[in-house]
Every structure is written in C-alpha cells, then in structure tokens.
Amino acid sequence: MSHGGGGGEDGVSAEPNLTPLLDLVLQLVMFFMLVANFVADEMSDKIKLPVASQAKPLKATETNFMYMNVDKTGHVLVPSREPLVSQDEITFYLRQTIKNHPLGARAGDTVTVIIRADKDSKFKDIHKTMVSIKTAGFKNLQLRAELPGAK
C-alpha cells in the first residue's frame, strides 16, 4: 500500500494535474495581449495630456473617430510616418485620410477628430492643427484631456 507523500519503498510518483493551471495562464496571457495592443497604435504614449475635471469619456455610440497627437514641439505624430510639421503637411495628410476612409466623402461629416496634445505644447500649434482639420473638411472636433486622479 502506498501513502501519499511518503516516499516509501514503492517509489510513489506524484503527477499533479497541470491542465487547469495552463488554462488559467493562457487566459491571462490572452488578456494582457489584448489590453496591450488595443490602442497603442494611434495613441502615442509620448504625449502627456493636461488634466481637466470636466472632460467626458467617449460615448459608446461614437465609433468613428481618429486621433491627432501633437507633441510639445508642435509636431503632429502620425503612425508609421514622419511627424508632420507644417500646416500644409497636416492638411494634406487629413485630406488623404478622408480619401482613403471606408466612408468616403462622408467621413468629414461623421468622423470626429480628437486632438491629443501635450500639456506643454503651445496654443499656436493646436490652432494650426485645428485650422488644418477644418480645411481638410472635418466637421467634428474634440480636445482630449486626462481625468484627475487617473494615475
């Protein structure tokens, strides 16, 4: 007769069931993979947003939006492209975005542009971006801020 944990003469081999543990670990891996890659592409983490207590979270109904990240030097950071510096460059990029958008020409009316600007950027750079957004044909604009106590 063998006794658990005994280590007697019979040579008891303990084989714990690892399958539930593996399931759990894979679920955790999946969670972190999803959370890590969800928004990283468009939202630059180089931008430190200003704090505003009255900022409202994005509504669930607002599904068509795009981000414009403005760093502290006033350059607009765009995924997989060089930063945009001049107003003409920004306007051209936004016009191309409308052109390539699945909604086509209606994109200007339905897509909300959200400016994520660094708290140390200057108003002239924000205004330059805002004018480009309007010139390109977008109708809806919002400024993004961090809610207090978020960190």
Residues within the interface to other proteins (CB under 8 A): 18-19, 21-22, 25-26, 28-29, 32-33, 35-36, 39, 43, 45, 49-58, 114, 116-124, 126-127, 130-131, 133-135, 138-139, 141-147, 150-151
- Which residues are registered as beta bridge partners of 139? none
Q: Running DSSP on this structure, what letter comes out for residue 61?
A: T
Q: How far is the CB of 5 from other proteins (least distance, A)?
A: 20
- Comparing CB distances to other proteins, the nearer of 4 and 57 is 57
- Comparing CB distances to other proteins, the nearer of 99 and 119 is 119
Q: How far is the CB of 45 from other proteins (least distance, A)?
A: 7
Q: How far is the CB of 9 from other proteins (least distance, A)?
A: 25
Planar angle of CA 95, 42, 110, nearest 5 degrees: 45
With b for 16 or more beta-carbon neighbours within 10 A and e for fewer, the 65-102 pattern comes to ebbbbbbeebbbbbeeeeebeeeebbbebbeebbeebe
- Comparing CB distances to other proteins, the nearer of 1 and 150 is 150
Q: How far is the CB of 105 from other proteins (least distance, A)?
A: 18
Instruction: Please compute Rg for the chain using Cα positions.
Output: 25
- Comparing CB distances to other proteins, the nearer of 93 and 142 is 142
Q: How far is the CB of 51 from other proteins (least distance, A)?
A: 8
Contact 125/117 with Cβ under 8 angstroms?
Answer: yes
132: number of Cβ within 10 Å: 24
Contact 87/133 with Cβ under 8 angstroms?
Answer: no
